[in-house]
Amino acid sequence: MFNSANELEFLEETTAEISQLSSLALSGDPACSENSSAGSPEKTGYPDSVYILAANIFQGTRLEKSPEKALIKYGNEPLPSSTESEDESFQRLSYELAFSALKYQDILETILIDSYIFPSTTIPDHLNSLIIVMLYDFQDRKFQARLLSGNEESIAEVLEVENLLNSFKTKLAAALARCRIKHDALSIYHILPETVRNQELRASTLPLYAWINTCKISPEEVYYTLKKNGYNKVKSVLHIDNKVFAVDQHCYDVLIFPSHLKSDLLNIDLFKDYKLIFQDKSRSLAVHSVKALLNMDDDILMVNTGSWYTVAHMSVLTNNNTSKIFVCGVQSQAKDPDLKNLFTKMGCKNIEILHETFMKLELKDHRLQKVKVILLLPRCSGLGVSNPVEFILNEHEDTDLLKDFSQGGPSEDKLHVLAQQQYEQLAHAMKFTRAQAIVYCTCSVYPEENEAIVKKALEFQDHEIKVQPYRLSPPVLPLCSLKEIHLSTDKFFRMEPSEITNGCFISVLTRERDPSETVSVKDVLARAAAKGLLEGIELGKSSKREKKKKKQKMSLPKSSIADNSGIQMKIAEFLSRETNVRKPSKPTTNPLVPTIMKNTSARPHERPTNFVRSRPEDRMIPLKPIEIALPPVILPFPSPQGIRSHLPTPHFYYRWVGPKTVLPGYLSTPSILRRGEKPKENLPSSLPRHPRP
């Protein structure tokens, strides 16, 4: 510690700087500005167990420096944590605090050196991580004292560090002020790299995505319940502060909510009862891509699923199928009861857990004989995600990602290691001979983890396997904008990080069609007839003996061919004559009834009647039905809907009938013939016979 004379001299030098103590917090930080908005309570600090867990996370993910540049030495011993640290809410707070300390590690270390806390203190090295995370929270509270709850148990290490920081309160404030002045920044938030600042800005405004568990509730019931709770359905939730929600354009069972409504939504029974589940949209896009490739009885193999909610969503989408979902990589059998309990609460029944890792799965495993689609979600850099804490907690990713996010991205060496692991997994998935499709999905924006991996795997796939090779297929998801169409021109589905969604990359690989399995038209018709889809239609094929017998009976085969061609010509002449009968005339008084003009070019008595030729009795040629589209016939109906047009029966034989009497008053034609009257010369050709309605 310093003596009183040194402290007094230091205070005299920094009196002007510490006068602005109230504005020394990270006012530029979106997260801080959101929490310090009007009407929200001021920060009062965290429980002791949160500081301990955050210090351990920081200890394992901090940026290590060379010995000559290291200003502070950190120990290797983790601090003992309590059972409260296993609670999800405590973990979330601890990860957020550790991530903030990681982002400002250099600045916080500089403040500790500039305020002469180091090397004057005698606190052991293994508590330095705790000093860093508590210092960040201390300045974020504008150096105000922490409010302790009466029920909370105190931890000795936390009290020791807290007393140290309080004793150096003035010096720490002055050091922070000098740091801001040195970097000419309104707050130390503006000292961060631009990539980190943009990422935090997106995270503060990114909407919430939740999928509907249709095993327990229908979408209509969800809409009704949300409306009862004051939520209105809109087309877009952007820049709306009210209680609203929208339906996603890519996934019909995904809803979107404004980000500031999460605490309110968690108190609704829909989320408490697993009827609505929060999850990043990229995972919903992945399972919907698999669903589009499935048949009714196809099984699915999921690799590196991360969140169990992804498995549950896949199960919900295949609830009406006989598909089974295999999840590999659950090495600890102790988790089985918890997972089964979770899936039971969510109504999922078709999930089977495999304890082998994916790379150790045998290609001829009898359990995987019906697996047709493999969903591969490899571990990636995750740089398309805006909120790394949510990504790590939800997807069970490694905490090392916090260090990558705090620095704006992974190192080249680490990116190379990730890309090699991704390639090996995709190449291994291609070796499962019974699988017909692979869906490869990442949350990365690096081509080294996306396009390069897929193209390399396609190029070097094993062609010695006696199955058809894989090829790149177009996206199976709907493309909802011109930008998405442009990004998918090379058959990859991409979504860039934006204010409405995280980044996402999806590639669909399918096996090429085997030429030997090409199905002819006759095979398709035969299968359709076997299933009863062509009832009433004969697909009989005359045998060679019948053809030979038929040729012997036909004395003039050429004449028969000529007869058939003649019949076709006369059918065409008949259709032409029927078309020429009706010509436009003056409009009738009833606008619903079409007009018919007189036609003097054709009279009833001049109608040819030799369409059916006489045939020898020994030649029996069966008549075949011919489909003829005729103009609609207007018939009277007593209903108030007026006169409707009906099409005639489509099957006719080569036979003519006489003029048909129609009811007067419904067709605007002059002198319609009555029964028993002789046809007059100015009447048009008689209409063909139609069945009565």
The residue assigned the tokens 């354009």 is 249
pLDDT at 632 over 50: yes
Task: Check 32, 348, 380, 443 and give the catalytic one.
Answer: 443
Q: Is residue 287 part of a domain?
A: yes
Give 216's contacts (C-beta < 8 A, 6+ positions apart): 273, 274, 275, 346, 347
pLDDT at 25 over 50: no
Tell me which of 192 and 571 has the higher pLDDT. 192
Q: Are residues 360 and 417 in the same domain?
A: yes
Question: Strands 651-652 and 232-233, how do they pair?
Answer: unpaired
pLDDT value at position 108? 94
Model confidence pLDDT, tens digit, residues 470-505: 999 999 999 988 888 988 889 999 999 998 999 999
Model confidence pLDDT, tens digit, residues 154-169: 899 999 999 999 999 9
Q: Is residue 28 part of a domain?
A: no
pLDDT band for 679, please (50, 70, 90 cuts): very low
How many structural domains does the chain have? 3
Q: CA 425, CA 305: separation in Å to the nearest integer?
A: 13
pLDDT value at position 363? 84
Closest residue by Cα to residue 492 from 542, 433, 531, 444: 444
Q: What is the CATH number of the domain that holds 268?
A: 3.30.70.1170
Q: Are residues 148 and 219 in the same domain?
A: no
Q: Are residues 150 and 210 in the same domain?
A: no
Residue at a domain's end among 496, 511, 526: 511
pLDDT at 90 over 80: yes
Residue at a domain's end among 157, 192, 227: 192
**pTM tops 0.75, yes or no:** no
pLDDT value at position 399? 83
- Domain region containing 447: 281-511
Strand pairing partners for 352?
326
Q: Are residues 273 and 286 in the same domain?
A: no
Please provide the average confidence, as pLDDT, over all residues in the chain: 78
Q: Are residues 61 and 88 in the same domain?
A: yes
Q: Are residues 245 and 176 in the same domain?
A: no
380 is catalytic: no
Q: Are residues 355 and 431 in the same domain?
A: yes
Average pLDDT value for residue range 68-83? 81
Q: Are residues 160 and 174 in the same domain?
A: yes
Q: Are residues 221 and 336 in the same domain?
A: no
Q: Is residue 620 part of a domain?
A: no
Exposed e or buried b per residue across 13-36, where buried means at least 16 C-beta atoms within 10 angstroms of its C-beta: ebeebbeebeebbbebbbbbeeeb
Model confidence pLDDT, tens digit, residues 99-146: 999 999 999 999 999 999 988 888 888 899 999 999 999 999 999 999
Taking the CB of residue 616, how many other CB atoms lie within 10 A of it? 7
Mapped onto helix, strand or coil, the DSSP state of residue 85 is helix
Q: Is residue 544 part of a domain?
A: no
Residue at a domain's end among 192, 224, 253: 192
Q: Beta strands of 490-620 (E only): which ranges?
A: 493-495, 504-511
pLDDT value at position 544? 53
pLDDT band for 548, please (50, 70, 90 cuts): low
Which tokens hold the place of 409? 């991205």
Q: Is residue 520 part of a domain?
A: no
Q: Are residues 274 and 289 in the same domain?
A: no
Q: Are residues 269 and 289 in the same domain?
A: no
Model confidence pLDDT, tens digit, residues 407-455: 888 889 999 999 999 999 999 999 999 999 999 999 999 999 999 999 9
Q: Is residue 491 part of a domain?
A: yes
Q: What is the CATH number of the domain that holds 492?
A: 3.40.50.150
pLDDT value at position 639? 44
Of the listed ranges 299-308, 529-538, 553-562, the least confidently predicted one is 553-562
pLDDT band for 690, please (50, 70, 90 cuts): low
Model confidence pLDDT, tens digit, residues 314-360: 999 999 888 999 998 777 776 788 888 999 999 998 999 998 889 99
Q: Are residues 268 and 293 in the same domain?
A: no
Chain centroid offset of residue 223 CA: 20
Q: Kindly report the CA angle at 679 between 677 and 685, in degrees rounded to 5? A: 135
Longest CA–CA separation in the chain, Å: 136
Q: Is residue 452 part of a domain?
A: yes
DSSP string, 326-363: EEE----GGGHHHHHHHHHHHT--SEEEE-S-GGGS-T
Q: Is residue 618 part of a domain?
A: no
